[in-house]
Amino acid sequence: MNETGKVLLIDGMSFLFRAFYGSAWGGAYRQTSTGVYTNAVYGFTKMMLDYAELVRPTHLMVGWDVASRESLVRSQWFDGYKSNRTAPPDELIPQFELVKEITAAFSVPNLGCPGYEGDDVLGTLSTRLAADGHEIVIATGDYDSLQLVDENVSVKILKNGGKHEHYDPASLRALRGIAPEQVVDVKALMGDTSDCIPGCPGIGEKTATKLITEHGNLDNLYDNLTSCTPKMRSKLEEHREQVYLSQKLATIIRDVPVEFSMEEAVWAYDPETVLNKFDELEFGRSLATRVG
């Protein structure tokens, strides 16, 4: 039997975008003396070290989006999926590759799969690894990941100021009033404007949560529409197809064909390699003192 460990799974895009915008509010972007933008990479590195120190994992992996919006499997299901997304700032674009040089310096695997999103990669990894008995901690800014919570999987949702909310099955129930398996059905009803998931017009988070907690799940709700007010029943009947499409779009895919090696994911690195990369990117002493 393989030895089990504690695996930290990082949502790369969540970390990188949060690092970029968290350090760009003043309009001054960190750069090297040769003009290479590094503010997002610097912030990402700091956050990765913060969570590694907090979680103390035996293994660490980073999941990434690797596809354009048009090539995503969800875009084949719904043409409008994430259609509101704009191009990232010019100062951020070169840092997408630069950040992977940083993770490589730490010997951390960068994992992605064409057509799928980072949370699908993390969902697949967490499902496989939890089944093998590992303890999983996911660090992300995406509340969709709460559907992955179970006895072996906890989720830390990034908040402003370097804080986070910690979710396990008990705290998810206490803080949001739902079980992990109900997360998707609530999203199916309320939709998500950030991802262009339509949901049911006129139903917000509070009503969606109430309907799902009362009925248990979406199927039971639709099997018992007579228990709803005439206005609510009409709304749900009219948008039934759209609601079930939203459920499909919001469901994290857990069988992505992504390959990984636990040996390569061991959280152990050569300090000299890391410090050389820090010097190259002119990170200064504050991060260097944390590497040893």
Average of per-residue pLDDT across 175-191: 97
pLDDT at residue number 25: 67
On whether both 122 and 242 belong to a single domain, the answer is no
pLDDT at 1 over 70: no
Whether 1 is covered by a domain: the verdict is no
For the chain, what is the domain count?
2
* Percentage with pLDDT > 90 across the chain: 82
227 CB-contact burial (10 Å; exposed 0-12 / middle 13-18 / buried 19+): exposed
Please give the residue range of the domain that contains residue 69.
6-177+255-285
The CATH number given to whatever domain includes residue 137 is 3.40.50.1010
pLDDT at residue number 144: 95
The span from the CA of 218 to the CA of 188, in Å, is: 8
Out of 1-5, 15-19, 51-55, 82-86, pick the least confident: 1-5
On whether both 52 and 70 belong to a single domain, the answer is yes
On whether both 136 and 61 belong to a single domain, the answer is yes
The CATH number given to whatever domain includes residue 195 is 1.10.150.20
Residue 205 sits at φ, ψ, to 5 deg, of -60, -45
Whether 292 is covered by a domain: the verdict is no
How, if at all, do strands 164-167 and 153-158 pair? antiparallel
Give the strands of the sheet with 135-140, arranged side by side.
110-111, 59-63, 6-11, 135-140, 153-158, 164-167
On whether both 43 and 164 belong to a single domain, the answer is yes
On whether both 162 and 35 belong to a single domain, the answer is yes
On whether both 13 and 47 belong to a single domain, the answer is yes
Mean pLDDT, the chain, as a whole number?
Answer: 93
The span from the CA of 118 to the CA of 158, in Å, is: 15
pTM: 0.94
pLDDT confidence of 70, banded at 50, 70, 90? low
Average of per-residue pLDDT across 89-103: 95
The span from the CA of 202 to the CA of 189, in Å, is: 9
Neighbours of 22 (CB within 10 A): 16
On whether both 166 and 56 belong to a single domain, the answer is yes
